Structure 1
Amino acid sequence: MSSDFIAVNARAVLEQHGLDSFEALWALKLDAVDAPNTGRGGWSSVYRLELAGASGQTQAFYLKRQLNHLTRNLGHPLGEPTFAREFRAIQQFAGLGIPALEAAFFGQRRVAEGQQAILLTRALDSYRPLDEWFADWHSVDFRARRDIILASAALVRALHNTGRIHNCLYPKHIFARVDGDGAGARLIDLEKTRRAWLGQRDFVRDLETLQRRSQGPSRSERLRFLLACLGQRRLNDQSRKIIAAITRRQRGKQESKA
Structure 2
Amino acid sequence: MSDFIAPQDHALLERHGLSSFEALWAIQLEAVDEPNTERGGWSSVYRLDLGESAFYLKRQSNHLTRTLFHPLGEPTFAREFRNIQRYAALGIPALQAAFFAERRLPGERRAVLLTRALDGWCDLDSLLPGWAEQSDEQRVAILRACGKLARQLHKAGQVHGCFYPKHIFLRENSSGFDARLIDLEKTRPLLFGTRDRIKDLEPLLRRAGIWSEEDLECFLTAYLDEGADLAAWSARLGARRSNKAARR
Same fold (TM over 0.5): yes
- How far apart in 2 are the matches of 1:74 and 1:154? 32
Deviation at 1:147, TM superposition (A): 1.2
1:19 equivalent to 2:18? Answer yes
1:142 counterpart letter in structure 2: D
Corresponding residue for residue 103 of structure 1? 97
Unpaired runs of at least 5, structure 1: 53-57
The residue aligned with 1:55 is none
Q: Identity across aligned pairs (percent)? A: 54
**1:176 Cα deviation (Å)?**
0.6
Match in the other structure for 2:216: 222
Which one-letter code corresponds to 1:16 in the other structure? Answer: R
In structure 2, list runs of 5 or more residues that go unmatched: none
Q: How big is each residue's C-alpha offset from its partner over 1:105-128, in whole Å with a ceiling of 9 and x where there is no partner?
A: 000010124110011000011111
Q: CA deviation at 1:139?
A: 2.5
Q: TM-score, normalised by structure 1?
A: 0.92
Query: Could you list the per-position Cα deviations for residues 29-54 of structure 1 after superposition, in whole angstroms to 9, with x for gaps in the alignment?
Result: 011000011111111100000001xx
Q: Deviations over 1:194-217 (max 9, x none)?
A: 012222111001111110001433
1:60-99 alignment to 2 at 5 Å? 60-99=54-93
CA distance in structure 2 between the partners assigned to 1:210 and 1:106 by the alignment:
29
Question: Contact 1:46/1:62 (CA < 8 Å) preserved in 2?
Answer: yes
Tell me what 1:159 maps to. 153
Deviations, residues 215-254 of structure 1 (Å, cap 9, x unaligned):
4333211211022111347xx5x32222222112111111
Q: Aligned Cα RMSD in Å?
A: 1.3
Aligned counterparts of 2:207 and 2:150: Cα–Cα separation in 1: 15
Amino acid at match of 1:22: F
Asked if the contact 2:217/2:230 (under 8 Å) is kept, the reply is no
* Map of 1:168 onto structure 2: 162
Find the counterpart in structure 2 of residue 192 from structure 1. Answer: 186
Instruction: Look up the SS of the partner of 2:39 in the other structure.
Output: coil
Question: What SS does the aligned partner of 2:38 have?
Answer: coil
Distance 1:63 1:135 in 2: 29
Alignment partners' CA distance in 1, 2:216 and 2:135? 17
Q: Is the 8 A contact 2:3 2:102 kept in 1?
A: yes
Structure 1 residue 189: Cα displacement: 0.3
* Aligned length, in residue pairs: 248
